[in-house]
């Protein structure tokens, strides 16, 4: 199998081709030519070939384990997303400074490429050009970039990557939000803009699947992901490495067109760009190519589209999936607060009395206390199946805001609450002290929910809409239940009127104190207009 190179010189020497006229056929295309590469070009290609292959091929056991354990007949969107979302992982140093802001794997891949390229050069003196390998390397890079950005794009097309703010977040003071949180909320409050960003990314990825539209796709990808990379640096978003991963791929794909584009746009010369076209004559290769291309498009454009739609409608990955007690939803003022029988009057400086209580539409209770708390600086992402581990509503929010997940025994009207932020160990991070969850650092804790109450609490696996159930969820929730990190917990009985406008909570708080809390619902008029394009069904 060979590769035909059409007009390899046109963009360099500016060959003028007579303009076609009515009644006069256009000039014939230049014959296929195989130009020898210079020694420098050959060495550079060998290094680049090894480098980009390392960058494009998954190397972690976790990725391959995920691939072989997927139930293809009962998929979750995250199954395909995790196939699409990977980057090179070679060796990470224990000292963060040595990891070069996360780019150490790139440096290591380049070092391997240089060493391998020099060895290749020493062993290969016969080949004077690598048109064939160059073509297939571009195929690998554009499909890798296309699949990866499509996985990203669908989380924006169906806006779940940056969720619409919860009531608890809407009630947070602006000054208590980190820069990262502010940016994510800025996008989250305008879902249709997020959809537009998704369309751009999907268009870029789709065009990379086809040779004739590769340049247009690479331009879109460079612009879109270049901006996202800068945003992540500016707002400390945490995914700058993965975003710039696609910038690198798009730049590599556009390198092929730099000279002809320069001649056309800058020198304003007639330009015919070079085209690499594989000569595939064997029938089995033709069939294999069609099957692989069709399968890739079918899986990552059609099937992933459907799975992401189901995720958006019933199981948005950054928001809890299941509804809370509908009677309790809303914002509340704390009208009365007793601790061990002693009335605690309202004071904005009090470090014990609750303020600004919110029951979300899912199973979360939030309230403020006037004391410093650990700050979660993650972006609330991940692949969590349990609602307690979906923490976007608390990440990047300071100001003493606490967020508790609850299991509700609706028969006896008891809430079993657990802090969504596990107890932290401290380590020195790039931006100061950063909390890090370490399951092994905490003693195992037994379930505080009695067996008789569990009989009245819904099953997390089946609580979701049947359309969104998957093998991943069926496996993931029992696995996450093994996580015994120590969490603060409370047991509170609730007594509410028919409309839920007046609620009395009694029981034990996280310090084992007896509490008596009276809540009165308040209606808050936000300047934001509620969007109809909000994920989840509650």
Confidence of residue 34 (pLDDT cuts 50, 70, 90): low
pLDDT in tens, 134-149: 999 999 999 999 999 9
Mean of pLDDT values over 385-392:
94
- Can you tell me the distance from the alpha carbon of 158 to that of 106, in angstroms, rounded to the nearest whole number? 31
Q: Which of 285, 315, 345 is the last residue of a domain?
A: 315
DSSP classification of residue 334: E
344 and 279 in one domain?
no
H runs (alpha helix) in 14-75: 39-56, 61-69
Confidence of residue 29 (pLDDT cuts 50, 70, 90): very low
Does the structure show a pLDDT above 50 at 433?
Answer: no
CB 6 within 8 A of CB 30: yes
Q: Which of 259, 292, 315 is the last residue of a domain?
A: 315
Closest CA to 101 of 222, 248, 244: 244
CB 271 within 8 A of CB 263: yes
339 and 311 in one domain?
no
Task: Give the max Cα distance, the chain.
Answer: 100
pTM, two decimals, is 0.85
H runs (alpha helix) in 209-319: 214-235, 240-255, 258-265, 283-297, 304-314
**Residue 304 maps to a domain:** yes
pLDDT in tens, 451-481: 999 999 999 999 999 999 999 999 999 999 9
- Can you tell me the distance from the alpha carbon of 248 to that of 485, in angstroms, rounded to the nearest whole number? 39
Domain that holds residue 224: 39-315
358 and 270 in one domain?
no
380 and 299 in one domain?
no
pLDDT in tens, 46-68: 999 999 999 999 988 889 999 99
Please give the pLDDT value at position 6. Answer: 56
337 and 302 in one domain?
no
Instruction: Give percent of the chain with pLDDT exceeding 70.
Output: 89
226 and 362 in one domain?
no
Does the structure show a pLDDT above 50 at 15?
Answer: no
488 and 386 in one domain?
yes
Give, in order, the Cα–Cα distances in Å from 321 to each of 5, 187, 385: 53, 21, 9
339 and 280 in one domain?
no
Q: Hey, which residues does 365 pair with through a beta bridge?
A: 359, 404
**Residue 146 maps to a domain:** yes
Secondary structure E strands in 381-488: 401-409, 414-419, 425-429, 432-436
Q: Which of 315, 343, 359 is the last residue of a domain?
A: 315
Residue 85 tokens, joined: 């979302």
394 and 247 in one domain?
no
**Residue 526 maps to a domain:** no
Greatest mean pLDDT among 64-73, 88-97, 114-123, 230-239 lies in 114-123
Q: What is the CATH number of the domain that holds 448?
A: 2.40.128
Confidence of residue 538 (pLDDT cuts 50, 70, 90): very high
Mean of pLDDT values over 274-293:
87
* Dihedral sign, Cα of residue 524, residue 528, residue 530, residue 534: negative
Mean pLDDT (the chain, rounded): 88
452 and 309 in one domain?
no
**Residue 175 maps to a domain:** yes
502 and 368 in one domain?
yes
**Residue 68 maps to a domain:** yes
**Residue 536 maps to a domain:** no
CB 84 within 8 A of CB 17: no
How many structural domains does the chain have?
2
457 and 393 in one domain?
yes
**Residue 20 maps to a domain:** no
Mean of pLDDT values over 313-322:
94
**Residue 479 maps to a domain:** yes
């Amino acid at each position: 199998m060979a590769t035909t190179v059409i007009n390899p010189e046109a963009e360099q020497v500016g060959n003028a081709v007579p303009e076609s006229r009515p009644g006069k056929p256009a000039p014939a295309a230049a014959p296929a030519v195989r130009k020898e590469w210079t020694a420098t070009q050959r060495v550079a290609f060998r290094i680049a070939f090894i480098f980009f292959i390392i960058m494009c091929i998954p190397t972690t056991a976790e990725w391959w384990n995920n691939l072989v354990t997927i139930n293809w007949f009962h998929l979750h969107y995250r199954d395909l997303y995790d196939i699409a979302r990977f980057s090179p992982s070679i060796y990470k140093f224990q000292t963060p400074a040595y990891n070069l802001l996360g780019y150490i794997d790139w440096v290591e891949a380049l070092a391997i490429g240089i060493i391998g390229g020099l060895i290749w050069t020493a062993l290969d003196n016969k080949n004077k050009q690598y048109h064939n390998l160059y073509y297939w390397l571009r195929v690998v890079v554009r499909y890798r970039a296309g699949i990866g950005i499509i996985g990203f794009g669908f989380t924006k097309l169906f806006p779940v990557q940056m969720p619409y703010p919860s009531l608890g977040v809407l009630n947070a003071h602006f000054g208590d939000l980190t820069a990262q949180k502010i940016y994510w909320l800025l996008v989250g409050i305008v879902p249709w803009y997020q959809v537009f960003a998704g369309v751009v990314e999907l268009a870029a990825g789709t065009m990379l699947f086809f040779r004739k539209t590769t340049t247009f796709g690479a331009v879109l990808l460079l612009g879109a992901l270049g901006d996202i990379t800068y945003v992540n640096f500016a707002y400390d978003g945490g995914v700058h490495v993965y975003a710039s991963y696609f910038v690198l791929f798009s730049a590599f794909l556009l390198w092929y067109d730099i000279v002809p584009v320069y001649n056309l746009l800058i020198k304003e010369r007639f330009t015919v760009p070079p085209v690499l076209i594989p000569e595939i004559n064997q029938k089995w290769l033709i069939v294999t190519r069609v099957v692989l291309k069709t399968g890739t498009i079918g899986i990552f454009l059609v099937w992933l589209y459907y799975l992401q739609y189901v995720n958006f409608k019933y199981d948005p990955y950054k928001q809890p999936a299941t509804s809370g007690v509908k009677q309790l939803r809303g914002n509340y003022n704390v009208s009365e607060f007793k601790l061990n029988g002693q009335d605690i009057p309202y004071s904005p400086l009090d470090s014990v009395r609750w303020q600004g209580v919110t029951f979300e539409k899912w199973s979360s209770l939030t309230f403020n206390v006037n004391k410093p708390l650990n700050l979660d600086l993650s972006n609330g992402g991940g692949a969590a199946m349990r609602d307690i581990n979906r923490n976007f509503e608390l990440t990047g929010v300071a100001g003493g805001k606490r967020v508790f997940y609850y299991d509700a025994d609706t028969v006896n009207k008891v809430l079993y609450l657990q802090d969504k932020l596990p107890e932290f160990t401290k380590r020195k991070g790039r931006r100061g002290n950063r909390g890090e969850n370490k399951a092994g650092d905490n003693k195992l804790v037994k379930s505080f929910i009695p067996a008789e109450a569990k009989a009245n609490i819904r099953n997390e696996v089946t609580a979701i809409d049947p359309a969104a159930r998957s093998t991943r969820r069926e496996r993931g929730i029992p696995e996450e239940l093994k996580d015994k990190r120590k969490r603060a917990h409370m047991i509170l009985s609730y007594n509410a009127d028919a409309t839920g406008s007046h609620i009395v909570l009694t029981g034990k708080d996280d310090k084992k104190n007896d509490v008596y809390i009276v809540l009165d619902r308040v209606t808050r008029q936000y300047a934001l207009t509620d969007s109809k394009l909000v994920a989840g069904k509650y």
